[in-house]
Structure 1
Amino acid sequence: MKDNKKIKKECRKAVPGRRTFLLLLFLLAYGSELFSQNSDSKYNQPILHTINKIERIFNVNIEDERGLLKDKNLDYADWRIRYGHPEISLTNILAPFDLTFFKESDSVYIIRKFEYPRRSVNVGEERLQYLKTLYSDKESWEKRRDSLKSCMYAALWLDKAPEAPGTKPILTKKRIYDGYSVENIALEILPGVYATGSVYKPYPLKGKHPVIICPNGHFGQGRYRESQQVRCATLARMGAIVAGFDLFGWGESQLQFPYENHHNSIAATIQVLDGMRLLDYLLTLRHADPERVGVTGGSGGGSHTMFLTALDDRVKASAPVVMVSSHFSGGCPCESGQPLHLCGDGTNNAEIAAMAAPGPQLIVSDGKDWTQAVPGLEFPFIQRTYGFYGEKDRVTNAHLPDEGHDYGKSKRMAVYRFMAEYLGLDLKKVQNSKGEIDESVCVIEEENTLKVFGDNGERLPENAIKDINALYKLFGEKNEKIQ
């Protein structure tokens, strides 16, 4: 008989060690998964193959007009299809490439690059349906509105903005025309930061007059363009004191901040401050009526019309043009570069427009841009909010289905009549013998005539900041834009 110690030694050789035993248990438990995960090549295939399969399964058309799917392969592509859910399926296979889709109709989808401020109409509709569940009466709406307002104010860094220096504005000599005057202005809204524009006034100037702020949009020539001059001049002839001003990094603002700075998120902050602090100044004028304040702008200026109205209680009447949308927040950082649309766990321009309630509001839309769905989608949503105050008739929609993205003549005509009704302007002063609003008497000035700092910026103040990083520092922030 073998020695007991020798038997134990031989048994240790025959029985697997603890580590070997644990390894065997691991392989038994997870071996099949490990082996399947090594089969990537079996399931990796061109994404176009899966797109074709989705088209067949759901009987839809998926269009890749820009060739964004070319030469793209995806692991487990077919496994990402959710049967019964074409849109979830598309999201699953497009998201890894930072792509998305726009739903053109019930059976047509367009592949697009992911753009954070832009969605398709059906996504906007889903969002509005959700927002409607958050409030059903005046009390619950005002709680939501006040929360949004507070958050938007902080998102735009307005709570961090230094006080205005209080310096006198720089004004050029007035030019006198038929029923109105024009003078250019530079207002120091922050230490070393100037808002530049032109102020149009009724002429002769007597009594009290409404004030209208005109934020600019991304239309060619900025505030120098003909349609901007005509609008400001006509409103002045009707009896309003009107201020049009440069976008950040446009026009004379470029003397301080080059055009490329316009795509910094701080542009949104400065443009809101421009409007607020120009309004501060205009309301100090002895002929200004603080109870009759309006704001109107188109495109990006439409965004800032909504922002200024939502944030500044002095605004009594607003007319955002070609910008109210539940699915597009503005394609420029000067509109959507600051996270104000993330307030309230997500808002959009339709809800921001509703924050004007119950103040009079004209929403101008057209059939050839992102406002095409306004009559049936955004307008009823906004009107519902006005209904909480029993004031549904104080918000109106001028929809021009055959027109495109501009602040053209027919859009201006709608705004003139709206401002006349709610700000007490005199339409008769601009009507011809046929009763038509006549813009032809307005003088279109040359670009240099509209400048406040001189033809070549020679009168720019010495303290003017010319460094975007220094501008961020005024707010206690850093410029994190990737150049």
Structure 2
Amino acid sequence: MTPTSAGNQTQFLEFVQKYALQLRSPETLPQSRRAWDEQRPQLRARLIASWGGFPQTPGPLKPRVVGQFQRDGYGVEKVLLETRPGVQMTANVYIPDGNGPHPAMLCVHGHWPLAKHEPTVQKRCIGLVRLGFVVLMVDAFGAGERGIQPELGEYHGEMVAGTLWPTGLALAGIQVYENMRAVDYLTSRTDVDAARIGVTGCSGGGNQTMYVGAIDERLKCVVPVCSVGTYQAYLGAACCMCEVTPSVLTYTEESGVLGLVAPRALMLINATQDAFQFSVGEARKTFAQLQHIFCFYGRQEAVRHVSIEAGHGYNRAMREAMYGWVTRHLKGQGDGAPIEEGEMAIEAPETLRCFADGKRPTTFVTVPRYAAAEARRLLQARPIPNHRQHWQSDRSLMVSALPKSLGMRKNRLESIAISERRQAGDWNSFEVISELGISLRVSRLSKGSKVDRLKLLLDFDRSVPPEEAEADEWHIVQADLRGTGALANSNDGIGRAVDHNSAEWSLWIGRPLLGQWVQDVRRILDAVEQEDGQLPEEIMVVGRSVAGIVALCAAALDPRITHCQMIGSLTSYISDTPYEKQRLGIMVPGILRDVGDIPHIASLVSPRPLSITGGVDGAGAVRTFQQLREDFAYAIAAFALDGAQNSLQIATGADS
């Protein structure tokens, strides 16, 4: 049997945390207004790029009031807005009695099951409208009335939002853009004073507030609640996909993002009993840097940090602090001190719904549907090649783009540290450093002194029994890659995503897990080469299920790999439903945009042998032989153009 390792469930987190500290150490602040003014547009552009960009030309909003009702002192309209072509946002507009134009507040919700209908969310809307503000309360993409099903209560994170990553779009960025469209709508209303608009939200809504407040300068007052801390503090925590900005730690911290709000009014509200990433202590680090930036404008009084003795949530004391701040900065009244809320009656969720009784059109665009449509649009730029010049041009572009998309490191360790050799029967093993902070245990099955054919087996679920490996004719090598098997981070999963947290942490630092796993494969081969003096002429990498994508990418980028086999792996990133039985770590931001789909990556193995044994779609359904051939049509054409059509073998399999 294979030698076992005690495992290290903290290794990967410790690696990510140290790596992130190196990225941001020291965290330098601009030393002058001029230096900051030079940084601002660059920082803004990098944030938007991390989110996948915004449409160049906003389409018509097509606002439609689908219902309304009156209460004492204010009325409520139920409104549909088209934020992108075909994508509808559900919203409520609270309108104070009396003549306008009024100041306005955009309210965004966090991860409460009922979204805009949640009682605590309603309370801030009612409190604000009573103070004379028009309030626009919106459902975030994938939440509230905008879930996959029309019923309330869905969560838009994990593998729902995961469908967006391959397109290059981040749910965080979509929310920013949609909230900017919400501001467009507010400025279009005759009862709103466009020069006096603010935004507030809590938790995930606080993140939305931070980002849209940083990007949209029409928002004159920004109040994020129970959300501001530091990006470093996210590493070790579980957060929603809608909070992740890929690669952001490679160029800034939260203080840089919130610094873009200056010189406009900004209040940070934190709870003393909140999670570490939103803690008062972490927020104080950010606030200290913000004070430095606001001083450039002589606007020290326009930024304030308030801590409330409470747990996570937008409670009454927090709302009252917000009321005073926005009243001062948007109405020019008071000194910013808290304003008492008073008692109020909230509405039943059904009263506020835009789609009565959940009767939503069957064609309603959900997060996965939007992701799938965007993916298909992107792949129109990668048609099946019909002549060799076309294929060679595509190949050159993809070979250049793939390592960048995967966040592969260019530098290699000069020496390969091998230690802790062990023996267990016919198996021997050793530890190898993949990169500083990452140690892998590599197991080898001895089959005589000469190694002429080597097979590396990758299986995150460990479904290959040792006896099957021992019966193989090849010299077998196995290993747990970082963050998997014995090296898996404890409590890593959320919902369908078993590697949720480690995959997210990797995105924060600009190192998608798939790229890190490919690096581990390379280092394992380096270690075997060092141990044996040379590598055999034939090297096969076999990946089962999710690990098949790792094997494929490794073979595409490493010419030492002479054979590749995928068993029961995902055949396409395109999925109009949430991914099932996959890992978030293979969902690389922008891979469809910059490289192509899984069959495009498969084509890069040509003319070397590639075996595709079974496969599944995004929903986990097994593909038939005909479907597999349709899925891999691009690769089939590429292999044929290389004169290597017999090197690509496609078959169904019981393991798929």
TM-score bin, normalised by smaller chain: 0.5 to 0.7
Matched, 1:359 2:288: no
With over 3 angstroms needed to count, the CA separation of the structure-2 counterparts of 1:263 and 1:247, relative to structure 1, is farther
Q: Is the Cα–Cα contact under 8 Å of residues 195 and 253 in structure 1 kept in the other structure?
A: yes
Matched, 1:420 2:322: no
Matched, 1:439 2:342: yes
Aligned equivalents of 2:279, 2:262: Cα separation in 1: 20
2:248 pairs, out of 312, 319, 341, with 341
* Partner SS state of residue 31, structure 2: coil
Matched, 1:381 2:279: no
Q: Is the Cα–Cα contact under 8 Å of residues 151 and 340 in structure 1 kept in the other structure?
A: no
2:68 pairs, out of 160, 174, 188, with 174
Aligned equivalents of 1:362, 1:196: Cα separation in 2: 27
The aligned residue for residue 193 of structure 1 is 87
5+ residue gaps, structure 1, are 1-40, 47-70, 74-92, 101-113
Aligned equivalents of 2:365, 2:327: Cα separation in 1: 38
The aligned residue for residue 50 of structure 1 is none
Q: Which amino acid aligns with 1:185?
A: V
With over 3 angstroms needed to count, the CA separation of the structure-2 counterparts of 1:374 and 1:162, relative to structure 1, is same
Aligned equivalents of 1:269, 1:474: Cα separation in 2: 20
Aligned equivalents of 1:416, 1:475: Cα separation in 2: 44
The aligned residue for residue 42 of structure 2 is 147
With over 3 angstroms needed to count, the CA separation of the structure-2 counterparts of 1:468 and 1:375, relative to structure 1, is closer
With over 3 angstroms needed to count, the CA separation of the structure-2 counterparts of 1:127 and 1:328, relative to structure 1, is same
Given the two structures, how large is their TM-score scaled by the length of structure 2?
A: 0.51
* Partner SS state of residue 437, structure 1: coil
167-176 or 391-400, which moves further after superposition?
A: 167-176
2:307 pairs, out of 399, 420, 425, with 399
Aligned equivalents of 1:376, 1:469: Cα separation in 2: 37
Aligned equivalents of 1:469, 1:273: Cα separation in 2: 15
The aligned residue for residue 209 of structure 1 is 102
5+ residue gaps, structure 2, are 380-572, 576-583, 588-617, 619-656
The aligned residue for residue 156 of structure 1 is 51
Deviation at 1:247, TM superposition (A): 2.1
The aligned residue for residue 299 of structure 1 is 203
With over 3 angstroms needed to count, the CA separation of the structure-2 counterparts of 1:170 and 1:363, relative to structure 1, is same
The aligned residue for residue 82 of structure 1 is none
* Partner SS state of residue 201, structure 2: strand
With over 3 angstroms needed to count, the CA separation of the structure-2 counterparts of 1:191 and 1:376, relative to structure 1, is closer
Aligned equivalents of 1:381, 1:468: Cα separation in 2: 38
The aligned residue for residue 13 of structure 2 is 99
With over 3 angstroms needed to count, the CA separation of the structure-2 counterparts of 1:168 and 1:248, relative to structure 1, is closer
Deviation at 1:263, TM superposition (A): 4.7
Q: Is the Cα–Cα contact under 8 Å of residues 325 and 348 in structure 1 kept in the other structure?
A: no
Q: Is the Cα–Cα contact under 8 Å of residues 239 and 426 in structure 1 kept in the other structure?
A: no
Q: Could you give the per-residue CA deviations for residues 35-76 of structure 1, whole angstroms, max 9, x where no partner exists?
A: xxxxxx9xx997xxxxxxxxxxxxxxxxxxxxxxxx327xxx
Deviation at 1:443, TM superposition (A): 3.0
Deviation at 1:463, TM superposition (A): 7.0
Q: Is the Cα–Cα contact under 8 Å of residues 157 and 475 in structure 1 kept in the other structure?
A: no
Given the two structures, how large is their TM-score scaled by the length of structure 1?
A: 0.67
Superposition RMSD on alpha carbons, in Å?
Answer: 3.3
Q: Could you give the per-residue CA deviations for residues 433-480 of structure 1, whole angstroms, max 9, x where no partner exists?
A: xx962331x33111111111221224x385756724344348748759
With over 3 angstroms needed to count, the CA separation of the structure-2 counterparts of 1:475 and 1:228, relative to structure 1, is farther
The aligned residue for residue 222 of structure 1 is 115
* Partner SS state of residue 92, structure 2: strand
Deviation at 1:128, TM superposition (A): 7.2
Matched, 1:261 2:160: yes
Q: Which amino acid aligns with 1:325?
A: G
Q: Where in structure 2 are the equivalents of 1:107-122 lying within 5 Å?
A: none
Aligned equivalents of 2:300, 2:61: Cα separation in 1: 43
Matched, 1:455 2:357: yes
With over 3 angstroms needed to count, the CA separation of the structure-2 counterparts of 1:474 and 1:244, relative to structure 1, is farther
Q: Is the Cα–Cα contact under 8 Å of residues 223 and 246 in structure 1 kept in the other structure?
A: yes
With over 3 angstroms needed to count, the CA separation of the structure-2 counterparts of 1:256 and 1:181, relative to structure 1, is same
Q: Which amino acid aligns with 2:205?
A: G
The aligned residue for residue 131 of structure 1 is 27
Q: Which amino acid aligns with 2:93?
A: V
Aligned equivalents of 2:345, 2:68: Cα separation in 1: 14
2:7 pairs, out of 45, 68, 72, with 72
Aligned equivalents of 1:320, 1:169: Cα separation in 2: 27
The aligned residue for residue 182 of structure 2 is 278
The aligned residue for residue 243 of structure 1 is 136
Q: Which amino acid aligns with 1:322?
A: C
Aligned equivalents of 1:321, 1:358: Cα separation in 2: 19
Q: Is the Cα–Cα contact under 8 Å of residues 229 and 283 in structure 2 kept in the other structure?
A: no
With over 3 angstroms needed to count, the CA separation of the structure-2 counterparts of 1:449 and 1:195, relative to structure 1, is same
Aligned equivalents of 2:319, 2:24: Cα separation in 1: 29
Aligned equivalents of 2:223, 2:272: Cα separation in 1: 18
Q: Is the Cα–Cα contact under 8 Å of residues 170 and 452 in structure 1 kept in the other structure?
A: no
Count of residues in Structure 1 that have an aligned counterpart in Structure 2: 364
1:467 pairs, out of 369, 379, 394, with 369
Aligned equivalents of 2:41, 2:323: Cα separation in 1: 30
* Partner SS state of residue 331, structure 1: coil
What is the percentage of aligned positions where both structures have the same residue?
28
1:315 pairs, out of 219, 225, 229, with 219
* Partner SS state of residue 60, structure 2: coil
Deviation at 1:256, TM superposition (A): 7.0
Q: Is the Cα–Cα contact under 8 Å of residues 261 and 468 in structure 1 kept in the other structure?
A: no
Deviation at 1:425, TM superposition (A): 7.0
* Partner SS state of residue 152, structure 1: helix
* Partner SS state of residue 455, structure 1: helix
Q: Which has the larger radius of gyration?
A: 1
Aligned equivalents of 2:247, 2:105: Cα separation in 1: 24
Q: Could you give the per-residue CA deviations for residues 417-440 of structure 1, whole angstroms, max 9, x where no partner exists?
A: 00000000778xxx9xxx962331
The aligned residue for residue 529 of structure 2 is none
